[in-house]
């Protein structure tokens, strides 16, 4: 090393440069190495965080944007839409989405996707946040099921997502009414669930409504639970007056269901998930009951069926067992007679079968024993009859009852419906009797009777006139004679009176003489006493003589 | 080689210039990829969250008709860094191949590169200012994302790469004997 503090730099010898051997490797190469490391790490991170890519088809891509729209579950990002395309036939939109890591297990066929937008319905308002933040695709992941990566998006959000606790049930109804997806299900006016979907059954006969009952209320659904449609007003006008039945205002607008588990003779087991129930049209019909297994019968009536409507009850001894399905009018062209066939259905579930094997359910019993059972019943005198159910409206119902004295009939087993024998209506019977009576009345010779009566009356009047004449005659002729006779009679009576007075006097004398204190009476008494004393003495004498006959000679000894 | 007076290390050319420049250019290239792929900024406004990369930002501006701004950002943030790296690579290769072709223009090219490089930081400044200004919670918020870090790294590294390059090397090939 040279001295840097040389006084005279010019004089100093020219410094020698020192050449240093530098290492071949420069540390500057660490920079790209570090960059490479960071890049590699980033690449690895990106790759490892890469989730699965799925495709979802929707009817419309309204509100969706490629690269921006998120997939969310519980408001947590689940993935992002990467591209939006149309299908080749332009009918649907294919949304491709990249999901976050570790979501593969939730991509099953049961997983559902739908676009969450702001929705306002009568029942609820949802997705307000999407008004500002834009629509997103909501996910309802289900971990169980077949794995898949192509999905069909729902057009409307599902009413119930998988993470909600509760049970699903199916209801069968004749019609949907005012129900819709999201319609509430009430139990004692508390909202406990909702309608999740509905569809027409395969044969188009009924509507199948799927409902979801939230836990813990699903425990309230038992095998004998009744469901009924609590939508809107239910106004009933009957003999009891006007009755209005309505649930909450919400259900007035968007419909609703209600259920109740009655305390009755049926079993009260917990209903299984997915159990099928009958949906009654209203609460009233719950009490009437509504049943699944039915058998159909044909009845023929000859009289008027005015007041018999479709749906009129069929009763057996006052218990409803079915209803009228159809009423028609038939004319026989051969003899030009009219008769009215009435089709009824009898609900098998109404019967409680005693003495059957417990393995059979109602339907099996009904099918197996139906023919035999009904034959027996008809043999015992079972007949159908029209009866008046409501005097106010004149509504008729069909009553099945046993009429033991009725002439023997049998069921006509024919297709499509077997025919049950009928008996005429009680009203009809009364009418028949009345008609007969009137006919008899008509046959009476009323005019003859009238003439006779008139003649009789004329004769009667003549008799009366004659009687009056007789009276007059009696007055004019017989009376003076009678007066004379009466005078004579009076004289006679006076004489008799006198004789009677004399007799009275005589009798008075006699009475005096016969009185208790009269001297004659006393004399007679005394005489009688004397006589009895004499008799006693005589008896004593005879007694003594009998014992002592010698006394007659010797005298009385002492 | 050291200065005999002050002891400072002396070089006739910047030491190890080519290797250092190469290293920095490669590093810048590596960072350039994530800088463009990763989002640089996340904008949350009224609950709507949107992450933007540089290119998506440019596309957004173009779609909304703000093409002058889009062009500015496109040039400052995409073209300039890339151009800088390309120019540096070209200079490095030409020096290494001892190309005698138009050394004056190449030197000018180098000067421009050096001067323009720092303007690429405009993007980073915009992001940092926005992040600092817009902090209104859910109503509006802007966050810087990792892409910005890489972009910043690209700009800084290219500036250093330009610095480590010795333009005199361009002229060296014109002399028969060198060093």
Q: pLDDT digit string (tens) for A40-86?
A: 888 888 888 888 889 999 998 888 888 778 888 888 888 889 889 99
What mean pLDDT is predicted for residues A318-327?
Answer: 85
The CA-based dihedral angle spanning residues B133, B137, B138, B140, taken in that order and rounded to the nearest 10 degrees: -10
CA–CA gap between residue B157 and residue B150 (Å, rounded): 10
CA–CA gap between residue B46 and residue A133 (Å, rounded): 6
pLDDT band at A1 (very low <50, low <70, confident <90, very high): very low
Nearest to B152 by CA among B135, B133, B167, B131: B131
Determine the straight-line distance between the first and last CA of chain B, rounded to whole angstroms: 13
Please state, in angstroms and as integers, the Cα–Cα distance from residue B112 to each residue in A152, B117, B162, following that order. Answer: 57, 8, 10
Domain ranges of chain A: 53-152, 166-288, 294-424, 524-553
Q: Are A277 and A227 in contact (CB under 8 A)?
A: yes
DSSP letters of A271-335? PPTT-EEEEESSHHHHHH---S-EEEEEEEE-S--TT--TT-EEEETTEEEEEEEEE--EEETTT
Q: Which residues of A touch B63 (CB under 8 A)?
A: none
Q: Tell whether A28 lies on the interface with B, counting CB pairs under 8 A.
A: yes
Determine the straight-line distance between the first and last CA of chain A, rounded to whole angstroms: 225
Strand order of the β-sheet with B140-144 is B48-52, B41-45, B140-144
Q: Tell whether A26 lies on the interface with B, counting CB pairs under 8 A.
A: yes
Q: Tell whether A3 lies on the interface with B, counting CB pairs under 8 A.
A: no
More confident residue, B135 or A531: A531
Q: For A415-439, what is the HEC assignment?
A: CCCCEECECCCHHHHHHHHHHHHHH
- Sequence-ordered strand ranges (E) for A391-548: 395-402, 419-420
Q: What percent of chain B has pLDDT over 90?
A: 2
Min CA distance, B9 vs chain A (Å)?
Answer: 10
More confident residue, A347 or B86: B86
CA–CA gap between residue A49 and residue A80 (Å, rounded): 13
Specify the DSSP element, H or E, that contains A490: helix A479-514
pLDDT at A358 over 60: no
pLDDT at A6 over 60: no
pLDDT band at A164 (very low <50, low <70, confident <90, very high): confident
pLDDT at A8: 55
Strand partners, B144: B41
Of A165-179, A188-202, A313-327, A367-381, least confident by mean pLDDT is A367-381
User: What tokens does A295 get?
Assistant: 């058998």
pLDDT band at A16 (very low <50, low <70, confident <90, very high): low
Maximum mean pLDDT: which of A93-102, A124-133, A470-479, B111-120: A93-102
According to DSSP, the β-strands at A166-173 and A125-126 are unpaired
Contacts of A175 (CB under 8 A, 6+ apart): A207, A281
Q: How far out from the chain centre does Cα B5 lie? A: 38
CA–CA gap between residue A72 and residue A312 (Å, rounded): 55
Task: DSSP letter for A258, please.
Answer: E
Q: Tell whether A37 lies on the interface with B, counting CB pairs under 8 A.
A: no
pLDDT at A287: 63
According to DSSP, the β-strands at A184-187 and A112-116 are unpaired
Of B10, B20, B24, B30, which to mutate for an interface test with A (greatest number of A Cβ within 10 Å)? B30
Of A4, A19, A28, which to mutate for an interface test with B (greatest number of B Cβ within 10 Å)? A28
Q: Are A42 and B34 in contact (CB under 8 A)?
A: yes
User: What tokens does A206 get?
Assistant: 């009924």
Nearest to A194 by CA among A202, A186, A206: A186
CA–CA gap between residue A277 and residue A288 (Å, rounded): 16
What mean pLDDT is predicted for residues B60-86?
Answer: 86
Please state, in angstroms and as integers, the Cα–Cα distance from residue A231 to each residue in A176, A177, A179, A257, A447, following that order. Answer: 10, 8, 7, 7, 69
pLDDT band at B117 (very low <50, low <70, confident <90, very high): confident
What mean pLDDT is predicted for residues A194-201?
Answer: 86
pLDDT at A123: 60
What mean pLDDT is predicted for residues A411-415?
Answer: 78
pLDDT band at A246 (very low <50, low <70, confident <90, very high): low
Q: For A28-72, what is the HEC assignment?
A: HHHHHHHHHHHHHHHHHHHHHCCCCEEEEEECCCCCCCCCCCEEE
Min CA distance, B121 vs chain A (Å)?
Answer: 19
pLDDT at B178 over 70: no
User: What tokens does B83 get?
Assistant: 């151009």
CA–CA gap between residue A383 and residue A401 (Å, rounded): 6
pLDDT at A7 over 70: no
Answer yes or no: do B30 and A38 touch at CB < 8 A: yes
Of B10, B25, B48, which to mutate for an interface test with A (greatest number of A Cβ within 10 Å)? B48
CA–CA gap between residue B86 and residue A222 (Å, rounded): 78
pLDDT at A346: 84
* ipTM confidence score: 0.75
More confident residue, A169 or B99: A169
Contacts of A335 (CB under 8 A, 6+ apart): none
More confident residue, A290 or A184: A184
- For tokens 């417990």, what's the residue? A358
pLDDT band at A180 (very low <50, low <70, confident <90, very high): confident
Per-residue model confidence as pLDDT tens digits over B129-165: 888 888 877 678 888 888 889 999 998 999 888 888 8
How much is the mean pLDDT over chain B? 84
pLDDT at A240: 59
Specify the DSSP element, H or E, that contains A58: strand A53-58
C-beta atoms surrounding A55 within 10 Å: 14
pLDDT at A15: 64
Strand partners, A341: A300
Nearest to A110 by CA among A67, A52, A152, A157: A152
CA–CA gap between residue B92 and residue B89 (Å, rounded): 5
Answer yes or no: do A26 and B16 touch at CB < 8 A: yes
Q: Tell whether A441 lies on the interface with B, counting CB pairs under 8 A.
A: no
pLDDT at A9 over 60: no
Q: Are A251 and A230 in contact (CB under 8 A)?
A: yes
How much is the mean pLDDT over chain A? 81
Report the residue from A18, A29, A36 with minimal CB separation from B30: A36
- What's the number of CA atoms in the CB half-sphere (13 Å) around residue A18? 11
Min CA distance, A2 vs chain B (Å)?
Answer: 7
Q: Tell whether A13 lies on the interface with B, counting CB pairs under 8 A.
A: no
pLDDT at A488: 92
Q: Please give the interface size between A and B, counted as residue pairs whose CB atoms are below 8 Å apart.
A: 72
Q: How far out from the chain centre does Cα A380 lie? A: 28
pLDDT at B10: 79
Specify the DSSP element, H or E, that contains A263: none
pLDDT at B42: 85
Q: Are A116 and A131 in contact (CB under 8 A)?
A: no
CA–CA gap between residue A352 and residue A364 (Å, rounded): 13
Min CA distance, A76 vs chain B (Å)?
Answer: 13
pLDDT band at B174 (very low <50, low <70, confident <90, very high): confident
pLDDT at A166: 86
Q: Are A322 and A293 in contact (CB under 8 A)?
A: no
Report the residue from B1, B5, B20 with minimal CB separation from A26: B20
Q: What percent of chain A has pLDDT over 90?
A: 11
Contacts of B1 (CB under 8 A, 6+ apart): A17, A18, A19, A20, B9, B10, B11, B12
Report the residue from B23, B31, B33 with minimal CB separation from A29: B23
User: What tokens does A372 get?
Assistant: 């035999």
Min CA distance, A52 vs chain B (Å)?
Answer: 19
pLDDT at B179: 44
Q: Are A281 and A229 in contact (CB under 8 A)?
A: yes
Sort A134 into a burial class: Cβ within 10 Å, 0-12 / 13-18 / 19+.
buried
Per-residue model confidence as pLDDT tens digits over A100-156: 888 888 888 888 898 888 777 656 677 777 777 778 888 888 888 888 888 888 887
Answer yes or no: do A32 and B19 touch at CB < 8 A: no
Q: How far out from the chain centre does Cα A79 lie? A: 54
Maximum mean pLDDT: which of A126-130, A212-216, A312-316, A501-505: A501-505
pLDDT at A380: 83
Q: What percent of chain A has pLDDT over 70?
A: 83
pLDDT at B177: 47
Q: How far out from the chain centre does Cα A56 lie? A: 48
CA–CA gap between residue A198 and residue B15 (Å, rounded): 82
Q: Which residues of A touch B4 (CB under 8 A)?
A: 2, 4, 15-17
């Amino acid at each position: 090393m040279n001295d840097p503090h040389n006084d005279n730099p010019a004089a100093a010898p020219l410094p020698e440069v020192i050449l240093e051997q530098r290492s071949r490797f420069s540390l500057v190469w660490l920079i790209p190495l570090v960059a490479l490391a960071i890049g590699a790490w980033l690449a690895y991170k990106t790759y490892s965080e890469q989730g699965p890519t799925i495709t979802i088809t929707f009817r419309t891509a309204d509100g969706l944007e490629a690269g921006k729209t998120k997939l969310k579950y519980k408001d947590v990002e689940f993935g992002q839409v990467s591209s939006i395309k149309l299908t080749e036939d332009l009918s649907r939109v294919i949304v491709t989405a990249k999901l976050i890591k570790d979501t593969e297990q939730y991509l099953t066929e049961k997983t559902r996707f739908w676009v969450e937008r702001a929705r306002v319905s009568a029942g609820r308002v949802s997705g307000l946040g999407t008004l500002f933040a834009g629509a997103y695709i909501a996910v309802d992941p289900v971990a169980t099921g077949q794995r898949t990566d192509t999905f069909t998006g729902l057009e409307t959000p599902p009413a119930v997502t998988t993470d909600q606790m509760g049970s699903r049930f199916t209801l069968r109804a004749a019609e949907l009414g005012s129900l819709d997806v999201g319609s509430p299900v009430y139990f004692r006016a508390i909202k406990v669930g909702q309608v999740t979907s509905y569809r027409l059954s395969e044969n188009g006969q009924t509507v199948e409504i799927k409902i979801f009952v939230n836990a813990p209320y699903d425990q309230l659904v038992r095998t004998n639970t009744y469901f009924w449609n609590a939508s809107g007003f239910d106004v009933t006008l009957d003999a009891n007056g006007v009755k209005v039945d309505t649930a909450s205002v919400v259900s007035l607008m968007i419909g609703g269901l209600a259920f109740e588990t009655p305390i009755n003779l049926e079993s009260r087991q917990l209903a299984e998930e997915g159990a099928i129930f009958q949906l009654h049209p209203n609460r009233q019909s719950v009490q009437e009951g509504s049943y699944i297994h039915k058998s159909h019968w044909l009845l023929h009536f000859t009289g008027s069926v005015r007041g018999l409507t479709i749906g009129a009850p069929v009763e057996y001894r006052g218990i409803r067992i079915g209803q009228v399905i159809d009423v028609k009018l038939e004319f026989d062209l051969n003899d030009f007679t009219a008769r009215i066939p009435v089709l009824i259905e009898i609900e098998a579930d109404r019967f409680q079968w005693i003495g059957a094997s417990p393995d059979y359910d109602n339907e099996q019993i009904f099918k197996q024993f139906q023919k035999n059972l009904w034959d027996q019943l008809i043999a015992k005198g079972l007949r159908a009859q029209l009866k008046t159910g409501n005097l106010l409206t004149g509504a008729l119902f069909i009553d099945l009852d046993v009429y033991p004295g009725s002439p023997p009939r049998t069921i006509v087993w024919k297709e499509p419906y077997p025919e049950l024998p009928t008996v005429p209506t009680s009203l009809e019977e009364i009418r028949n009797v009345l008609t007969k009576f009137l006919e008899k009345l008509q046959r009476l010779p009323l005019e003859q009777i009238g003439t006779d009566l008139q003649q009789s009356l004329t004769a009667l009047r003549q008799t009366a006139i004659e009687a009056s004449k007789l009276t007059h005659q009696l007055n004019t002729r017989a009376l003076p004679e009678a007066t004379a006779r009466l005078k004579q009679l009076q004289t006679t009576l006076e004489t008799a009176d006198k004789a009677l007075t004399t007799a009275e006097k005589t009798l008075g004398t006699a009475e005096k003489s016969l009185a208790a204190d009269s001297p004659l009476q006393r004399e007679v008494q005394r005489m009688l006493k004397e006589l009895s004393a004499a008799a006693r003495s005589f008896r004593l004498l005879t007694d003594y003589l009998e014992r002592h006959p010698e006394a007659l000679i010797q005298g009385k000894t002492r | 080689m050291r200065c005999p007076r002050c002891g400072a290390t002396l070089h006739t050319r910047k030491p190890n210039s080519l290797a250092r420049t190469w290293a920095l250019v490669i590093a810048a290239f590596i960072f350039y990829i994530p800088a463009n792929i990763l989002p640089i900024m996340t904008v949350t406004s009224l609950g709507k969250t949107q992450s933007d990369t540089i290119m998506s930002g440019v596309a957004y501006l173009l779609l909304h008709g703000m093409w002058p701004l889009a062009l500015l950002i496109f040039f400052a943030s995409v073209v300039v860094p890339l151009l800088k790296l390309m120019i540096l690579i070209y200079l490095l290769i030409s020096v290494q191949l001892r190309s005698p072709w138009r050394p004056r223009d190449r030197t000018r090219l180098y000067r421009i590169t050096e001067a323009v490089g720092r303007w690429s930081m405009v993007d980073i400044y915009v992001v940092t200012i926005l992040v600092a200004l817009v902090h209104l919670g859910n109503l509006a918020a802007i966050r810087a994302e990792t892409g910005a870090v890489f972009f910043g790294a690209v700009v800084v590294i290219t500036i250093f790469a330009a610095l480590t390059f010795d333009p005199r090397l361009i002229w060296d090939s014109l002399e028969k004997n060198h060093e």
